[in-house]
Structure 1
């Protein structure tokens, strides 16, 4: 949910800090006061395109900061993008300069506008005249139908079977292409396989040969070093002679002082070890040979292995893998089994499985579509579209190329809002306010939980009286499970808010500013009275405002969770 919002030098707003609660928050104010600026600011945080004209006159840049609490879907997206934070608070920041490019940050890290839009899809929906409504997308309408029809499990099964079918199709395509190779290609693969088999590749051979080659090429250097060590140990004035002299001297002293016995034993051990070193080095020199023939043999073998690596563009591990792969392919081909026929059998089986699952999903949709159309029609009629006729047109695709992981169906919401006019696709008929009301009806009807925050703009355009009161009750009902923000000019809607924000325009230092403040209970009555009757507020308007507030408070829809503010 949206926790708080900070705005600096954006449009008519100089400086704004506001915290938000769960439940229904209504935004009211005079026409032109800037109620929609708040929504525009939130949309910018979530990747909408900005322009320098949005910066307040006289300022160098606008800055918008919003804090959101993460949900499971957004947390999974953050992990996928490697943007996960230490806690569940997401801080989005948008900087919009007069000159230069706009910048977006998430928890202090720069992100793209597309990333902000992707994240925003998990956090909130903006529903209104200027929103990019998901409702207009056919795939979204199909999802809504499945939700109404309790078809999520069926849809998940279709998605799994579709993946299996596509994987089987890819394998069949691969084998078909392989089988289509001509005889020359097969002969070439056989040659490669035989070449690798005849190369007698052995694990670790490459490293062993390189080590042996290095030793053989350094025979003279090794011999010189061993000779030097022997002279130092065993010449007339070498270490062995000195050790023997030390033994004699220490042995005499130890006879007179037993405390020297440990030192004498260590010296004896050192003498023995030095003698063993001398014997070992003499034996090593006796067998040390240059072996030029062996060196040539190693060079030829290393060159052979290097040529194979270069030819196949891989290392020794890759050569082993290629040898086994080719051997397995020819073994399968020579075993009498037809891999293409086996793949075709799997392909047909997976296709039948997908078709069975998709047909069950289609049947579920066919049964639910008229019920959803009727339920939605009743809801939107109660919201001021009293002549609305809603249809759900479901088209099952027979061509395989049109099948998807969501099944074989295409669905589209059609609506007629005026008597005597035929129904048309929703996107071609409904106005912004009507779309917002349809979205509100669907949210309440389906109790969608995909996002926690819903923002309604222009939801009450062109309605009043009982319809407005009905809209207010539905919004308050929705606020029991969601965080709902609604820009409204109707007192019947505003009275249902759990939180009431008032936007007003004033002039300070010769510049026009929009300011927003949280209204307390007494101030709410005054604002509702103003919305009822204008600038002249008398006792009857005050009483009417109080009655609206009392009636709204008695209606259902208390927000769940801890409130802020």
Structure 2
């Protein structure tokens, strides 16, 4: 629903803030007062074409902001989410036009492209006017409207699901066929690469393990030298050098020969004995280290051959060494796909045929239901047209099959609303057959019948009553009121019968301010509304009879 419209410096409007409520809002006023400026301003906010001529004389820019409150689950929310914009209770569409004709667009104060503004606007408002038609005049919307009228949304959803399954099966088949074709092209290379890598048999994390062991082996020579030097100090090969153990034993024997029994030498003897034991233990540990440190003279060579082989294979295939095991598995899978490809492709082809048949069956049922709903819709419209002075008009809902290439999630049909406004005239597209006034009334009739399924919460009718009066104008007003029971409706009208049906009445007038014309919009209370409708009935001079007639119209409208 449109909550408010803020206009700044658009043609004759300097500053205007309007609020709208649910139901039917009517805008009335003298010809040339500026009602079209209001619609042009709303159009700007909805993403319609911007022109420099819309900027008020002497101003650098014009701006319009329209605030909407779409219901839960409305397509506008999904569209905003698609653009990565957070959902808010209100959706604010704003457009700024410079005096040079350039424009900028904003949604909830975030800059966006005009195309997005137009897409959002199309989900929020339909404009039906003498010259501009947005909504039902677009044949692309007719299928969804017919489905909504016939209550076929569930069937349409089933068709969409079947279409996804069919296209998914086609994609899987295409992928398998491409894989087999690629494998066939590369079969010789694949078998050679798998054989080569299979013989190499790379393992996960192998490069790190080999590098660490290689480093340890490279450090082993220095380790062996250090251990040998330690042993050499304990077991000198030079005959002129004394073995440390022998030196300790000689010292002990010398102390034992001390005169007087050598009791005073006992601590020293005990220390020498402990030193000999510690020396023996140290020699054992060093000898054990020496035995453990004996390197395999071939191990380093084997490690380096393996490491260099892995790295050469990685360079050949353009991957890091760590990815060689995964590459081998991938190449094996491609070979397996080649070997088993024919059977898999055959199975996927069968699945594709089955999915297509399921889609065709679901779409066929939807087509049948659409044809029944189309006949029902034609009958409903036939009842609505005569009161709108379209008794010679005939609406045809054409449900035509599409080529298979054009089948989609919405089914196999092309749904088009066609109209004939004169006997003997072949039905044609709405925009091409009907005049401006006829088209507006046709749109109204369609909206009366289709209002229940309309996803667009706000409708705007511009002079839908043009060229009619009396009972026909009353019928238009009554139908607008009926549509407004479900949707928000804004109508620009010159008909008192239509104006009397409004829940909200706005009068558009032109005034002179500072020597310049200015458009103003005034909400009317009950008394002012009665006076405005009397003016519409009587012209410039409002008579008591006109006021009485206005009162009668208001009472009749309820």
Please indicate the TM-score interval, normalised by the length of the shorter structure.
Answer: 0.7 to 0.9
Partner of 2:202: 201
CA–CA separation in structure 2 for the residues paired with 1:50 and 1:532: 36
Q: CA deviation at 1:342?
A: 0.7
CA shift, 1:421, in A, is 3.0
Q: Deviations over 1:382-429 (max 9, x none)?
A: 2221211222222224x4223222222222222221234333232210
Match of 1:55 in 2: 55
Q: 1:157 to 1:214 in 2, by over 3 A?
A: farther
Q: Aligned-residue CA RMSD in angstroms? A: 3.3
Structure 2: runs of 5 or more not aligned: 224-284
Contact 1:216 1:295 in 2 (8 A): no
| 1:390 maps to 2:391 | no
**Partner-residue secondary structure (3-state), 2:318:** helix
Distance 1:327 1:520, change over 3 A: same
The answer to whether the 8 Å contact 2:169/2:355 transfers is yes
Q: How does 1:330-341 map to 2 (within 5 A)?
A: 330-334=335-339, 338-341=343-346
User: If the length of structure 1 is used for normalisation, what is the TM-score?
Assistant: 0.79
Cα deviation for residue 217 of structure 1 reads 9.3
Which one of the candidate residues 351, 360, 370 is aligned to 1:355? 360
Compute the TM-score of the two structures, normalised by the length of structure 2.
0.79
Q: CA deviation at 1:183?
A: 5.1
For the 8 Å contact 1:175–1:340, the answer to whether it is kept is: yes
- State which of 506, 509, 512 in structure 2 corresponds to 1:504: 509
| Structure 1 equivalent of residue 308 of structure 2 | 300
The Cα offsets for residues 6-63 of structure 1, whole Å up to 9 and x where unpaired, read as 1110111111011111111111111111112222112211211201111001111001
1:362-395 CA-partner distances (Å, limit 9, x unpaired): 1112222222112112212222212112222222
User: Which has the larger displacement, 525-534 or 325-334?
Assistant: 325-334
CA contact (8 A) 1:209 1:302 kept: no
**Structure 1 residues 123, 294: CA separation in 2 closer, same or farther (over 3 Å shift)?**
farther
2-structure distance, mates of 1:509, 1:321:
82
Summarize deviations over 1:179-202 as a string: whole Å, max 9, x none.
Answer: 456855222233343344344333
1:116-515 equivalences in 2 (<5 Å): 116-180=117-181, 184-205=185-206, 296=304, 300=308, 303-304=311-312, 306-307=314-315, 310=318, 316=322, 321-334=326-339, 338-397=343-402, 399-446=403-450, 447-515=452-520
Change (3 A) 1:517 1:303: same
Question: Which ranges in structure 1 are unaligned for 5 or more consecutive residues?
Answer: 223-278, 555-565
Match of 2:68 in 1: 68
Q: In the aligned structure 1, how far is the partner of 2:321 from the partner of 2:463?
A: 65
1:488-512 per-residue CA deviation (whole Å, 9 max, x = no partner) reads 1111111111111111111211211
Counterparts of 2:209 and 2:523, CA distance in 1: 79
Question: Structure 1 pair 487/321, CA: closer, same or farther in 2 (3 Å)?
Answer: farther
Deviations 1:114-143 (A, max 9, x none): 111122222222222343433233331122
Contact 1:26 1:485 in 2 (8 A): yes
Report the secondary structure of 2:431's partner residue.
Answer: helix
Which deviates the most, 492-501 or 172-181? Answer: 172-181
Distance in 1 between the 2:219 and 2:8 partners? 74
* Structure 1 CA distance for aligned equivalents of residues 216 and 96 of structure 2: 65
**Worse overlay, 147-156 or 343-352:** 147-156
Instruction: Please tell me whether residue 106 in structure 1 is matched to residue 110 in structure 2.
Output: no
Structure with larger Rg: 2
